[in-house]
Amino acid sequence: MMFPSSDASSAAHRRQYFQIALEEAQATVRGYDTKAQIVGIGYTFTLNIVAAVVGGLPGADQSGIMYVLVFWSVVMAPLFLFGYVLYPSRRSVSKVPDGGAAGVCRALYVQTSRYPTVESLRSAVAEVDWEDELAYELLMVSKLREQKRARFIVALVATVLSFIVLALRHIWPFFLL
């Protein structure tokens, strides 16, 4: 995409691009949170249906360490993994180099420890290079989005494996006849 020759106009277009990209990345992050909540609830409902249809979860009539281990590692693990999607924080994301002291002021994601007063925040905002700020935030949010996506996929795979194990456990006795 070509920008007009004016530096001011070109800078405005770049800031607009960064803003749109940042909004899209933030929306996607929120989307993974919503998906994880919905699929986690759906998984719980499905487990209840399985338990009702087969008269309890396979092996529930047995007690012992094996049942407990299978229950927590196969049945409950997907729920924990969907919860894990919800709670990666910006602190868990690998750091983005910000150029050190002369670099990004981090004025978009305000940390009160960095700007404890109104005056300190106003002073920082007055000196900000908004392209750098938007680029930094876009990278941080994009890393968070990628982390949530990876965790969501792991939770989905764990759910599929859980249902496969439950189905195999339920139909295995029919193969032994």
Confidence bin at 31 (pLDDT 50/70/90): very high
Model-level pTM?
0.76
Q: Which of 92, 82, 89 is nearest to 157 (CA)?
A: 82
Residue pair 91/98 in contact (Cβ under 8 Å)? The answer is no
Residue reference for tokens 């800078």: 11
pLDDT at 156: 95
Say whether pLDDT at 7 is over 80: no
Crossing angle, helix 7-53 and helix 130-175, to 10 degrees? 20
Say whether pLDDT at 64 is over 80: no
Confidence bin at 27 (pLDDT 50/70/90): very high
Q: Which of 124, 114, 93, 109 is nearest to 22 (CA)?
A: 109
| Side chain identity at residue 171, one-letter code | I
Q: For 41-47, what is the mean pLDDT?
A: 88
Say whether pLDDT at 155 is over 90: yes
Say whether pLDDT at 52 is over 60: yes
pLDDT at 108: 81
Mean pLDDT, the chain, whole residue set:
82
pLDDT at 170: 79
Say whether pLDDT at 153 is over 90: yes
CA 80, 91, 105: angle at the middle one, nearest 5? 155
Residue pair 19/136 in contact (Cβ under 8 Å)? The answer is no
Confidence bin at 1 (pLDDT 50/70/90): very low
Say whether pLDDT at 169 is over 60: yes
Residue pair 158/78 in contact (Cβ under 8 Å)? The answer is yes
